[in-house]
Amino acid sequence: MKHRETKQKKVRKENLSDWYHWILEEADIVDSRYSIKGMLVYKKWGLLIIREMQRYLESLLEESGHEPTLFPVLIPEDILGKETQHIAGFEEQVFWVTHAGENKLERKLALRPTSETSIYEMFRLWIRSHTDLPLKVHQSCAVYRYETKHTRPLIRGREFLWNEGHAAHADKEDAKKNILEIQDIYGKLIRELLCMPFLIDRRPDWDRFPGADDTYAFDTIMPDGKTLQIATVHDLGQNFSTVFDITYEDSEGKHQHIYQTSYGPSFGRLLAALISIHGDDRGLVLPPKIAPLQVIIIPIIFKESDTAEIMEYAKKIRKKLDSMDVRTEIDAGEERPGAKFYYWEMKGVPLRLEVGPKDLKEKKITVVRRDTGDKSTIAFDEVDDVCKIFEDMSKDLGEKAEKGFNGKMFEAPALEDVGKYAGKGVIKIGWCGRKACAEEIGGYVSILNVDGDPLECVVCGDKGQGVRAAKTY
Ligand SMILES: [Zn+2]
Measured CA to CA, the distance from residue 286 to residue 270 in angstroms comes to 13
Task: Count other C-beta atoms under 10 Å from residue 95's C-beta.
Answer: 14
**pLDDT of 54 strictly over 70:** yes
- What's the CA-to-centroid distance between 420 and ligand 1, angstroms? 19
Helix (H) or strand (E) holding 437: helix 435-442
- What's the CA-to-centroid distance between 434 and ligand 1, angstroms? 6
Measured CA to CA, the distance from residue 256 to residue 249 in angstroms comes to 6
What value does the mean pLDDT take over residues 5-30?
A: 89
pTM: 0.96
Please indicate whether residue 324 or residue 2 has the higher confidence score (pLDDT): 324
What value does the mean pLDDT take over residues 252-274?
A: 97
Omega before 134 within 30 of 0, i.e. cis: yes
Measured CA to CA, the distance from residue 15 to residue 12 in angstroms comes to 6
9 pLDDT tier (thresholds 50, 70, 90): confident
What value does the mean pLDDT take over residues 249-269?
A: 97
- What's the CA-to-centroid distance between 465 and ligand 1, angstroms? 10
Per-residue pLDDT tens digits for 298-314: 999 998 888 999 999 99
Q: Which domains does the chain have, with CATH numbers?
A: 16-278 (3.30.930.10), 295-391 (3.40.50.800), 409-470 (3.30.110.30)
Neighbours of ion ligand 1 (CB under 5 A): 432, 434, 437, 457, 459-460
- What's the CA-to-centroid distance between 451 and ligand 1, angstroms? 15
Per-residue pLDDT tens digits for 157-203: 999 999 999 999 999 999 999 999 999 999 999 999 999 999 999 99
